[in-house]
Amino acid sequence: MTSDDRTEKDRQLDGYRVDQRDSFLTTDQGIPVDDTDNSLKAGERGPTLMEDFHLREKITHFDHERIPERVVHARGAGAYGFFEPYDDSLSSLTRAEFLATPGLRTPVFVRFSTVAGSRGSSDTVRDVRGFATKFYTRQGNFDLVGNNFPVFFIQDSIKFPDFVHAVKPEPHNEIPQASSAHDTLWDFVQLQPETMHMMMWLMSDRALPRSFRMMQGFGVHTFRLVNEDGRSTFVKFHWTPKLGKHSLVWDETQKIAGKDPDFNRRDLWEAIERGAYPEWELGLQLVQEEDEHSFDFDILDSTKIIPEEQVPLRPVGRLVLDRNPDNFFAETEQIAFHLGNVVPGIDFSNDPLLQGRLFSYLDTQLIRLGGPNFPQIPVNRPVVEVHNHHREGYHQMQIHKGRAAYHKNSIDGGWPEQAADKGYTHYQERVEGYKIRKRSESFSDHYSQATLFWNSMADWEREHIVAAFRFELGKVEARHVQEGVLHNLNEVDHDLAVRVAEGIGVDAPGQPTTPNHGRSSPALSMAHEPADDITTRKVAFLVADGVDAAQVQSIVSDLTARGAICEILAAHGGAVRGTGGEHLMVTRPLPTTASVLFDAVVVPGGEESVRALAEDGDAVHFVAEAYKHGKAVGALDEGARLLEPARVTAAPEQGVVTTPGPDLEGFLASFAAAVAAHRFHNRPTRAVPA
């Protein structure tokens, strides 16, 4: 990143960065340390002395290194970047500068996360993914704190502690970690039908993203845009990845959890380090005030979407992540998001889930980050100056001059003064009614949008959803809980309930109260994703001595030019010998990796090489497993012989590409297209050789 590319936030952080090269060790007070390997003792073998201030400081700091992890979204990864609007078309709808000023690049920090697991859990569990963005705008910080699903489990925030307690490991034995496949979660689900739409998303492949860079993000709630005249427009925020929406498959995620539990975190870090900066487009769904009640659902209900067929997305800008943090704890772990951080021109709706979150996020930071001064932590500081009468407390970093810490004052000339018409103005909404604990009748439909989601899925997506329900409910020990969930599923779709019941050995329910309405929304399916880009896709080449090295180099060169990442795998590290005696460097030994960490595999030609690979169980399993998971498989010349022991049949339409003779150009075009297609889910099921 050049100096011209540096954002205001980057320059602000310079004062906090510490480069310890060419420096002497000191205490926190700057006192030089002569020895940090031996404590101060009374004689070489005598007792340690309390006056050893360096020992006490070092141990004390170590004892207090850990802060409480987040109750939810504990495991995360993040990066810096910028947001840039396309034009000024939103200037008539909002006072928010960062959304409506062409050419204005607003610095951001984005944190991705899983919801249920602890900091030490795996990246690839079946779970919701957090997608939280802090915009460091010229009007103050705006936090858009969302998920990779557009809906949530519950309608009212008062149920949030109940839901989280249900999905977390069960209290009697702290099992299972980072998993929803257990009794308490599904007991909650069977007794709370409002969860059904979200559970359909959670059981789909949307819960298993291939990469943070290949998943959508949503603000979930309905917010408001407010213009200079005080006029409000309801808005929903959508992030759409430039690389398309792609997922893993369940069997693969479980294996990745063992092979590389940091799979998604590593993927984000390496892409940014490589210069393949992740990018998303921000799209808005806009609803005029007068149209608030024109839908057959309530737009304030967070268990509902507004189908894109009814309100299309309006593209307004792009988000690019182009810099990794310097220190995970100082930045990714200490960043504090809060839905109450809004700027002029953005306001809240009366969504009861949103309203509770406005309290919860701020309250959480007070215990996690040690008091009310957490906004002064560098990653949380706005790029604009902060002036107020807040004083003292833990970790106060500012040195306030003057005598008056109150408003109004005359001692300090009345400063800081109120911002008047330049300040944040809440939307003036007329509110009246009885104080009552009751949910609106407009929130009472819990099944129709879950049915909409099911109807919108491709056949292979439905197969995966059924398999997920069977796996999760198969882990549930209480039969009445299984039956209760099946009752709810039956109201979503009878065929779905019957298929799940068959898989878990429970009697299928009878006909539902309301039959399937038959409506669908193509935007909900991942089967319609563009398939023309292989940027950052990882391709493995299986080689041994006697490989056609020139062929490998030619293919690697072509795929790399298309944006793919190629790695050469062999039974050992170092190099292998080519057919012409040349040396081909190995990226990593085959026993240290696995097919689940790649998007595609190529077996090059070379009689001797292929013969050795056919005798290597790891190599045969690599190809067979890649095929099982629907990935592109390529084999050239003699390499096609490895397909037989892997029980793979050449079929270009199924992503298994071979080439007879010298037609390398044709192979490259077909193989690249197969990689771009991501997965071939309709392949025949085959046993994977051990």
Residue 404 has a CB neighbour count (10 Å cut-off) of 16
Residue 183 CA to residue 485 CA, distance in Å, equals 11
Pairing between strand 600-603 and 538-542?
Answer: parallel
Query: Residue 634: beta bridge partners?
Result: 602, 657
Element (H, E) at 357: helix 352-368
3-state secondary structure of 9: helix
Alpha helices in 475-505 (DSSP H): 479-492, 494-504
Residue 630 CA to residue 399 CA, distance in Å, equals 60
Report yes or no: 132 and 145 within 8 Å, Cβ to Cβ. Answer: yes
Residue 402 has a CB neighbour count (10 Å cut-off) of 10
Q: Any idea what DSSP says for residue 525?
A: -
The amino acid present at 291, given as its one-letter code, is: D
- Tokens in use for 218? 């949503």
Cβ-proximal residues to 80 (8 Å cutoff; 6+ apart), any chain: 7, 9, 10, 107, 108, 109, 321, 322, 323, 324, 325
Query: Residue 49: beta bridge partners?
Result: none
Cβ-proximal residues to 570 (8 Å cutoff; 6+ apart), any chain: 542, 543, 544, 576, 586, 589, 590
Buried b (16+ CB within 10 A) or exposed e, 93-121: bbbbbbbbbeebbbbbbbbbbbbbbeeeb
Query: Residue 633: beta bridge partners?
Result: 601, 656
Angle between helices 250-259 and 459-474 (to 10 degrees): 60
Q: Any idea what DSSP says for residue 243?
A: T
Could you list the active site residues? 73, 147
Residue-by-residue DSSP string for 408-458: S-STTTTPSPP-GGGS-----------------GGG---SHHHHHHHHHS-
Residue 320 CA to residue 109 CA, distance in Å, equals 10
Query: Residue 522: beta bridge partners?
Result: none
Angle between helices 494-504 and 479-492 (to 10 degrees): 160
Q: Which residue has the tokens 């360096």?
A: 54
- Tokens in use for 636? 């050239």
Q: How many CA atoms lie within 13 A of 381 on its CB side?
A: 20
